[in-house]
Amino acid sequence: MRGKDLSCGGQDRRGGQLRSGGLGPLPGATAVWPLPARAQQAAKTRLIGYLDYGGGAPFHDVYRRRPFLEGLRERGWVEGQNVTIERRFAAGQADRLPALAAELVALNVEVILAAATPAAKAAQKATSRISIVMADPGDAVQLGLVASLARPGANITGVTSLAPELATKRLALLKEAFPKTARVAVLWNSAIPPGEVALKELRTAAPLLGVDLQFVEVPGPPGFGEAFAAIMREHADGCSCFRIR
């Protein structure tokens, strides 16, 4: 997978790391803050906002919450001791995110960690003052979250992973495992759209593999029933999923 780091516009580089004042580095993100002296840490408890499109499911605990806390701890920041984390979860309901982001801004958190595309968009609209670190935003440029990968600008930074070839690889593996596959449903969450590059490569590869594609958008987990009913009506032989939550 190809990863691409985003740098905050207007910040200087020292030793290859981005720097500004305040917190230590947030795990899973590119933005790095210098670690204050131990005495300074003890003197003030820092406040982080955590905005997540999903919820408290095991996936989020294992792949987001735990690594986040462990990364902070490795750098001397321990929740309940010298850092407080205000968490807001939308439980897969994108329409809840603007209000949740506004709550974090009202609390005057020092930085917002926005997990997934919808959370990053909500945080972007909620504040141009508080630093935002995106985790797993997809194609940040295409989605209008940053101006460019080299110079994102504004108050947003983070890490974006662009691997359009993976969608094609999944389709090829499906065809290899089940050679008679002739129609494949491509499922994605409309709140987390796949990158145009990935869709383009998928459309290019499908005829070469002898496969017709059925694109199905899902408005989060509540739409699964209707989505799979549509897939069954079209008699798809298999299903390829982009990120759902």
According to the model, what pLDDT value does residue 29 have?
41
**How many Å apart are CA 20 and CA 8, to the nearest integer?**
9
Buried b (16+ CB within 10 A) or exposed e, 155-185: bbbbbbebebebbbebbeebbeeeeebeebb
Q: Give residue limits of the domains in the chain.
A: 2-162, 165-241
The yes or no reply on domain 165-241 and CATH 3.40.50.12280 is no
Q: What amino acid occupies position 160?
A: T
Please tell me the class of the 2-162 domain: alpha beta
According to the model, what pLDDT value does residue 224 have?
83
2-162 and 165-241 in the same fold: yes
According to the model, what pLDDT value does residue 55 have?
74
According to the model, what pLDDT value does residue 245 have?
61
In terms of Cβ atoms closer than 10 Å to its own Cβ (0-12, 13-18, 19+), residue 40 is exposed
pLDDT in single tens digits along all 245 residues of the chain? 344 444 444 333 333 333 333 333 344 443 444 455 455 545 589 999 999 988 766 666 777 788 889 999 999 999 999 999 999 999 888 899 999 999 999 999 999 999 888 899 999 999 999 999 998 777 778 778 888 877 888 899 887 766 667 778 889 999 999 999 999 998 877 667 666 677 788 888 899 999 999 988 887 667 888 888 999 999 999 988 876 66
Under 8 Å between Cβ of 30 and 6: yes
3-state secondary structure of 21: coil
- The pTM of this model reads 0.64
Under 8 Å between Cβ of 146 and 152: yes
